[in-house]
Amino acid sequence: MTPHPAPPVSGPIAFSAEQIAEVRRLQSLYPDRRGALLPVLHLAQETFGYVSLDVEAYVAGLFELSPAHVHEVVTFYTMYFQAPKGRHVVSVCHNLSCHLAGAPAIIEHVKQRLGIEPGETTDDGRITFVSVECLCACEAAPMMQVDDRYEMNLTPEKVDRILEELR
């Protein structure tokens, strides 16, 4: 399970000169430079591994925003991780279409299979499990995303095969 609170990011929290140039380039693309906040948070997550409170404060400084504003953005979106994530990320949709098509049973099955709750990472650091609002494939519900691939029309048996591939 993921420890709480998240450990601090190791090393200094600062972008390279090239990354700062990219931040400034992204900010220049928008009439209000805050429009670049999401891609800069992606850059921060790539660079530091996850978006800790210290990383949020660093990014806030780049935008002259409060750390609280950046924290609100980070906690709103499921694509940002506030703690180290596993080697694989398994996201199960729980929105209305998936819910009606059996997502609660799929989520429960994944919980039992991995021995963790949504938002946690297995003890071996292999899999982070999250339940997300929407993965945009209502016609193929229930569904999940595993890393960068989408798995649709899930059954417990199909979930077992998918998870076994991640071991």
CA separation for the pair 81, 107 (Å, rounded) = 19
Beta carbons of 103 and 93 less than 8 angstroms apart: yes
HEC secondary structure over 64-91: CCCHHHHHHHHHHCCCCCCCCCCCEEEE
At residue 139, the 3 state secondary structure works out as helix
CA-nearest of 27, 74, 68 to 50 is 74
At residue 124, the 3 state secondary structure works out as coil
Dump pLDDT digits (tens) for 62-86: 999 999 999 999 999 988 999 999 9
Hey, CA dihedral for 96, 101, 107, 110, is it positive or negative? negative
For residue 4, what pLDDT is reported?
44
CA separation for the pair 161, 167 (Å, rounded) = 10
Dump pLDDT digits (tens) for 19-48: 999 999 999 999 999 999 999 999 999 999
Under the banding of pLDDT at 50, 70 and 90, the label for residue 167 is: confident
DSSP H or E run through 35: none
For residue 99, what pLDDT is reported?
96
Q: Which domains does the chain have, with CATH numbers?
A: 17-76 (1.10.10), 88-165 (3.40.30.10)
Query: Which letter does DSSP use for residue 121 in this model?
Result: E
Residues 6+ apart with CB under 8 A from 7: 83, 84
**Token couple for 44:** 């921060």
More confident residue, 1 or 67: 67
Report helix angle 53-63 to 67-76, nearest 10: 120
Strands of 88-93's sheet, edge to edge? Answer: 120-121, 127-132, 88-93, 144-146, 149-151
